[in-house]
Chains A and B, each alone.
Chain A
């Protein structure tokens, strides 16, 4: 656990020093939110998508910047699980902090029927976005390719009719279901579907990211560690 917290601490320190990045992470959802401010439901959904885009971009860049160092950290004794979870925890903390700020903004700015569901939606969006960005970062060789993949994801998510069946295959579909539940007098089934989808996508993305990370940071088969003791005086 100590090692995991050390990784998380260093990821947080690294991100905290990128002040422009942090500023943009906070401002991005605001732009989305302001663009649809007059329509409560749309404003909430777009703020959520802006949060998702920002958090996944942070995940992508953070993963890519660690790619050259992580094999070295693996060599000095970190497990791939520690490296993955440490980064995930740090990025989630930052994303949930931004989500909390937007919860307060929307709560005081809009007429919300179900504020608890709003908190769930924003937290869930961040929880989906972080492993999504980390997964893309693990799969693509460089930031540019990853950014293009991410733009494609979010662009399609915003352009597609959310009522279509195919929309369910996109990562942030849950925000539409929970968003409807927040502002409209609909049944609990909307919240339930949104939660199921969001949690399922989050778990799937974390699992996929774990598999890719485990492969990338695997111990190579050609290395054979001998247990022959080294005589005293030669250490």
Chain B
């Protein structure tokens, strides 16, 4: 089986929200059941089961082509699985691996566009966007269009846009590609903060050192006959 699910075993170095371990079971925010996906004759996912609760961070790992992004896209409802279903309890924010922004719009205009979709007023969207940017150590230049941003900064913009509406569930597809070390640390600080306020975060990652910071891991690495798919 290559759909293993296990808890992170490394020492917990996260900031603790008082009584986290003592509190009653938190509600399930995202439950994927029997997810399979084929592209043509190629089986990408096979009977994947996954459940994550409020106030948890989950990592999705696996080798290249293991179907991590496909799985996240299915959870976000952006593509359909061949079989299986996803139950969602709350609103969903999604950060793609690439793209996801308009080249000729400025970061502030993205804040307004995405914020409006989330029902925020223009001023609130701008304030929240800039606040989130500051948490990631970024001060957006008001005149720079997103096509002129570096890869890492563009990914910061993507992360901010996914968190702008205060969604209950965040699905982040390799969000820290291109981040420098400081931003990487800032990113996890933001994730912990969100987790401690009850948000559910699912992160696709290749970075093994991120494993000790998550509550559970879904490993999509193929094994045996599935390795060559």
B109 proximity list for chain A (CB < 8 A): 10, 13
Question: CB distance B88 to A224 under 8 Å?
Answer: yes
Question: CB distance A220 to B77 under 8 Å?
Answer: yes
* B27 interface neighbour in A66, A222, A230, Cβ under 8 Å: A230
Minimum Cβ distance to chain A for residue B92 (Å):
6
Question: CB distance A69 to B101 under 8 Å?
Answer: yes
Using A76-B114, A226-B89 as known contacts, say yes or no to A220 and B96 having CB atoms under 8 A apart: no
Using A13-B109, A69-B101, A221-B80 as known contacts, say yes or no to A235 and B116 having CB atoms under 8 A apart: no
11 residue pairs from A and B, CB less than 8 Å apart: A6-B116, A18-B104, A73-B114, A75-B77, A76-B93, A76-B117, A76-B118, A76-B164, A222-B74, A224-B87, A230-B90
Minimum Cβ distance to chain A for residue B1 (Å):
22
Mark interface residues in B149-191 (1 if CB within 8 Å of A CB, else 0): 0000000000001001100100000000000000000000000
A3 at the interface (CB under 8 A from B): yes
Minimum Cβ distance to chain B for residue A204 (Å):
29
B85 nearest CB neighbor, chain A only: A222
Question: CB distance A233 to B198 under 8 Å?
Answer: yes
A68 at the interface (CB under 8 A from B): yes
Question: CB distance A6 to B113 under 8 Å?
Answer: yes
Question: CB distance B79 to A69 under 8 Å?
Answer: no
Question: CB distance A17 to B145 under 8 Å?
Answer: yes
B203 proximity list for chain A (CB < 8 A): none
A231 at the interface (CB under 8 A from B): yes
Other contacts beyond A76-B164, A235-B198: 14, CB < 8 A: A2-B116, A3-B116, A6-B113, A72-B94, A75-B93, A76-B117, A78-B117, A220-B80, A222-B74, A222-B84, A223-B77, A226-B88, A230-B29, A230-B198
Question: CB distance B87 to A226 under 8 Å?
Answer: yes
B54 at the interface (CB under 8 A from A): yes
Chain A residues numbered 70-94 whose CB sits less than 8 Å from any CB in chain B: 71-73, 75-78
A109 at the interface (CB under 8 A from B): no
A75 proximity list for chain B (CB < 8 A): 76-78, 92-94
B86 proximity list for chain A (CB < 8 A): 222-224
B129 at the interface (CB under 8 A from A): no
B55 proximity list for chain A (CB < 8 A): 234
